[in-house]
Amino acid sequence: MRVVVLLGGDSDERDVSLASGAQVANGLRERGHDVVSLDPVCGLISSSQEEDLLKGVIPRVPSSAVRDFNSSLGLLEYVDQLKKADIVFPVLHGGMGENGTIQAVLDLLEIPYVGSDMFGCVLAMNKDLTKRLLRAANISTPEWVLSSKVEEVADILRFPLICKPVDGGSSVGLTLVTNQASLELCFASEKMGGPALMYETFIPGRELTVGVIGESALPIGEIISKHEIFDYECKYRPEMAEEIFPAEIEELTASTVAGIALEVHALLGLRDLSRIDFILDEQGTAWCLEANTLPGMTANSLFPKAAKAAGFSFQELCEKLLLLAENRLHSRRRS
């Protein structure tokens, strides 16, 4: 098949997306597909640029140089290239690549693609919306608040708590808040033009993650971070976290958590792939934190590690995702 891999983009997760996209493009080529890599910001990626990306290391601090660029408009400059594809494979983490904007553009152009549609992306990307749906479905999720007042957050939630962008990913901006002074610093950053922030009760426990592919859960992973929380540096520096697949948890617990992950995937209307994150507390309750519609696909990412634990090579994982999108396209044409 002829595939266009979308990578890079204009979000804070651009560096991760470039690394993920290069891995996916390489994996699909190794399965015999005709692959073109396209960055909505910079255009077509050359083979030499891809080679550099495959060798590269994710920076400690996410890039912000392209923050004012509009990826969806940039993508429209390459409509001819997109129209030639049998399937588009978005690997655009965060921002317009994961909030439904790019998916809406591809739907408007009637171009088939891997992954969730606009509606699923919107629901999963906005953590407040996700948690409202979780609560309505009686799925445990930590207490949270969106507020413009320090006093209100401090009254509703107890310290320690987590401060994070309501619509971000890759743990960019994730902060552990332990007292009033550090809470006020979060509000100061928001007032200075930062992203909208959400405040969430910190629940100590074991951090678990469940990849979903198609309608099946992959082996559960456990993350043991060198920092108190699994932040951006721990997520993308191999030496900063231990990631165990499959997690060493009781079979009944694993079955329960996997079942909740599949329920969340369906509740948000997701398709093809997702990664659902949990905290397992000391009492054995699994608290759902969030859902990721385009999980990382770098050499150090959790989703490929889960697939490997299930017996899929990285190349097989990429092709399986491609075939899920192709089968959906054929089903639509038959109907």
Helix axes of 118-125 and 101-108: crossing angle, nearest 10 degrees: 170
In terms of C-beta density within 10 A (0-12 exposed, 13-18 middle, 19 or more buried), how is residue 330 classed? exposed
CB 48 within 8 A of CB 42: no
- pLDDT average, residue stretch 122-149: 93
Chain segment 80-103, per-residue pLDDT in tens:
999 999 999 999 998 889 999 999
Q: Does residue 170 surpass a pLDDT of 50?
A: no
The identity of residue 18, as a single letter, is: L
Domains of the chain: 2-115 (3.40.50.20), 125-141+204-314 (3.30.470.20), 144-201 (3.30.1490.20)
Cα separation, 49 vs 58, whole angstroms: 15
Q: Which of 47-61, 110-124, 201-215, 222-236 has the lowest mean pLDDT?
A: 222-236
Q: Does residue 237 surpass a pLDDT of 60?
A: no
